[in-house]
Amino acid sequence: MFDFLFEGRAGVYVVLALAGIIALLLWWQKRQRKPLVVLIVTLVLAGLYTLLHFLVETDTEKVDRTLREMAQAMDTKDMDRLFSHVSRDFTYGGKSREEIRRRLSDRLHGGDVKGVAIRDFRVLEFDREKKLLRVEFAARGQYLDWHGQMRCQGEFIRENDGQWRLKKLITYRPPVNSEEFVFEP
């Protein structure tokens, strides 16, 4: 609801910076107390906003962090850590969570998948009542002889333990287009 208070959005910093610059210019021209007070309040607000950004992790930031942890777990071949972020109800390409885990483990330990990184994360849909967060991102890495990135959509659900877990994944054939593609782990 009020996630903008905690996400360190550039627009908020721009507004605060403009207010601070205007107050500084007014104070510089007139040397009155009121613009100086506005400048100090603006600086305090910017500091509080920055502090809130670093102290509070929003649901969107949690999902972004989760995706990055999953990519890191793939690089370190830590299947337990990777699948701790995957829902028990997860399916991909008609395969169950367990089958995907087994096949992906074989690919990772065989050296077929390397250098996985997440980029260009953005929220597509956030429904607090349904405990659903749908995101789009680019997965970058190496798979066999292919190097590059593919666009992905992930559907995360907040489970009963309060954690966001991946329930559904859609990948798109590189280069980016609208054709759905099932990556074969």
- Give residue-wise pLDDT tens across range 29-38: 988 999 999 9
Are residues 15 and 94 located together in one domain of the fold? no
Domain count, the chain: 2
pLDDT of residue 176: 47
pLDDT above 90 for 112: no
Are residues 116 and 104 located together in one domain of the fold? yes
Say how far apart CA 141 and CA 122 lie, in whole Å.
19
Are residues 8 and 48 located together in one domain of the fold? yes
Mean pLDDT of the chain: 87
Which residue range forms the structural domain that includes residue 76?
59-181
pLDDT above 80 for 141: yes
Domain of 65, CATH number, reads 3.10.450.50
Token representation of residue 170: 């859609």
> Cβ distance 185 to 141 under 8 Å?
no
Average pLDDT over residues 7-25: 90
Are residues 100 and 174 located together in one domain of the fold? yes
Are residues 68 and 19 located together in one domain of the fold? no
